[in-house]
């Protein structure tokens, strides 16, 4: 598996909290799930301590119904009107009584009051940077003296943005990109085609593999749009509109930039600006259909097809 040496370190770790840091899509979530699985596995574990994949705990995890794992993620909170949305993990994620808007189904405090079904309850916090001070305060005692020996797995892209009270109570694991060969091997092991384009797009980020199908689709759409630009105005508009229906805010922007990477710098710069404007328009809830048509027209201009 990818990042096997980090899993090995986590297995040897006897504390209550780990902080996994590294860039977006580098594989923090994959590693967190592997650690949570290993901590609960009751079968015969692999040479790096990886979960067996067959015991009752591993089967529950594969079925997406593991009773001892809780994933906490930030919610996008909209302040008044069309003001920018901001991500936050509020105190309501930790304490049921403070979750007035019922944003979270399960709350950390109440979750940890219950004994583990298998070996150890694990709380995974994705986007630890967005942990509000109140939520962090409510967590501190739980981290220091976790009920039933629970484990916290914090994930963050930038450790400098994480509250010092969390950083100082956690052991850090730095998750780094891996080589293209390692990624290709992981793709093949999961029974997929290790196509060069996907590996180049991933640029060492293991987290991309979990979304391989979506990435392939986004790359195909990006190429289609690029071809449409050269075909003609009408085809451009039609293809841009079709893109709206398939738009995945995570992968399409990156796929478009990936397809443009071989263009000359000034074309790329213009196309990037058009893409930035499109994303802003979508964030502001502007008419999506019109925004995509404008985007298509501006791309034709950028690549000299207008
Ligand atoms: Zn197992």
Q: Are residues 170 and 72 in the same domain?
A: yes
**Could you tell me if residue 151 is inside a domain?**
yes
Specify which residues 85 forms β-bridges with. Answer: 78
Nearby residues for ligand 1 (ion, Cβ within 5 Å): 41, 43, 51-52, 55, 58
Q: What is the DSSP string of 69-88?
A: EEEE--EEEE-STTPPEEEE
Q: Are residues 138 and 76 in the same domain?
A: yes
**Could you tell me if residue 18 is inside a domain?**
yes
What is the torsional sign of CA 270, 271, 273, 277? positive
Q: Are residues 52 and 162 in the same domain?
A: yes
**Could you tell me if residue 40 is inside a domain?**
yes
CA 118 to centroid of ligand 1, rounded, Å = 10
Average pLDDT in the 239-268 region?
96
pLDDT at 83: 47
Tally of CB atoms within 10 A around 33? 19
Where in the sequence is the domain holding 270, given as residue range(s)?
211-302
Least confident of 59-68, 175-184, 185-194, 231-240: 185-194
Instruction: Provide the 3-class DSSP secondary structure of residue 236.
Output: helix
Q: Are residues 172 and 25 in the same domain?
A: yes
**Could you tell me if residue 196 is inside a domain?**
no
Q: Are residues 98 and 226 in the same domain?
A: no
pLDDT at 86: 79
Q: Are residues 215 and 143 in the same domain?
A: no
CA 263 to centroid of ligand 1, rounded, Å = 48
**Could you tell me if residue 105 is inside a domain?**
yes
**Could you tell me if residue 165 is inside a domain?**
yes
* Percentage of the chain modeled with pLDDT above 90: 88
Last residue of a domain, one of 154, 176, 198: 176
Q: Are residues 144 and 221 in the same domain?
A: no
CA 45 to centroid of ligand 1, rounded, Å = 7
Average pLDDT in the 150-157 region?
98
Average pLDDT over the chain reads 93
CA 111 to centroid of ligand 1, rounded, Å = 22
Task: Give the Cα separation of 239 and 225 in Å (integer).
Answer: 6
CA 8 to centroid of ligand 1, rounded, Å = 16
Q: Are residues 52 and 109 in the same domain?
A: yes
Given a cut of 50, whether residue 295 has pLDDT beyond it is yes
- The count of domains in the chain is 2
**Could you tell me if residue 235 is inside a domain?**
yes
| Selected residue with higher pLDDT from 193 and 29 | 29
Q: What CATH number is associated with residue 63? A: 3.40.50.300
Given a cut of 70, whether residue 80 has pLDDT beyond it is no
**Could you tell me if residue 107 is inside a domain?**
yes
pLDDT at 12: 87
Average pLDDT in the 146-166 region?
96
CA 237 to centroid of ligand 1, rounded, Å = 52
CA 81 to centroid of ligand 1, rounded, Å = 48
Contact present, 42 and 57 (Cβ < 8 Å): yes
């Amino acid at each position: 598996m990818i990042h096997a040496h980090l899993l090995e370190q986590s297995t040897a770790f006897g504390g209550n909290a780990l902080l996994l840091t590294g860039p977006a899509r580098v594989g923090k979530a994959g590693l967190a799930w592997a650690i949570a699985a290993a901590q609960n596995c009751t079968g015969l574990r692999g040479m790096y301590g990886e979960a067996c994949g067959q015991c009752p705990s591993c089967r529950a995890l594969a079925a997406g119904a593991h009773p001892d794992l809780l994933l906490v993620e930030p919610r996008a909170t909209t302040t008044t009107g069309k003001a920018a949305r901001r991500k936050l993990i509020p105190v309501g994620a930790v304490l049921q009584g403070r979750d007035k808007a019922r944003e979270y189904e399960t709350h950390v405090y109440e979750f940890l009051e219950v004994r583990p079904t298998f070996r150890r309850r694990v709380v995974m916090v994705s986007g630890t940077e967005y942990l509000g001070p109140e939520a962090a305060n409510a967590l501190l005692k739980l981290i220091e003296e976790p009920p039933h020996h629970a484990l916290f797995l914090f994930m963050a892209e930038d450790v400098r943005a994480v509250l010092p009270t969390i950083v100082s109570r956690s052991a850090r694991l730095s998750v780094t990109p891996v080589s293209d060969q390692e990624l290709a091997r992981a793709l093949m092991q999961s029974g997929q085609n290790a196509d060069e384009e996907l590996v180049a797009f991933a640029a060492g980020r293991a987290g991309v593999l979990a979304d391989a199908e979506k990435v392939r689709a986004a790359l195909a759409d990006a190429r289609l749009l690029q071809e449409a630009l050269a075909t003609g105005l009408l085809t451009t508009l039609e293809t841009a509109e079709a893109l709206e229906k398939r738009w995945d805010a995570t992968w399409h922007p990156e796929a478009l930039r990936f397809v443009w990477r071989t263009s000359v710098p000034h074309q790329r710069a213009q196309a990037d600006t058009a893409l930035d404007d499109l994303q802003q328009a979508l964030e502001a809830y502007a008419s999506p259909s019109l925004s995509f048509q404008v985007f298509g027209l501006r791309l034709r201009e950028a690549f000299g097809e207008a």
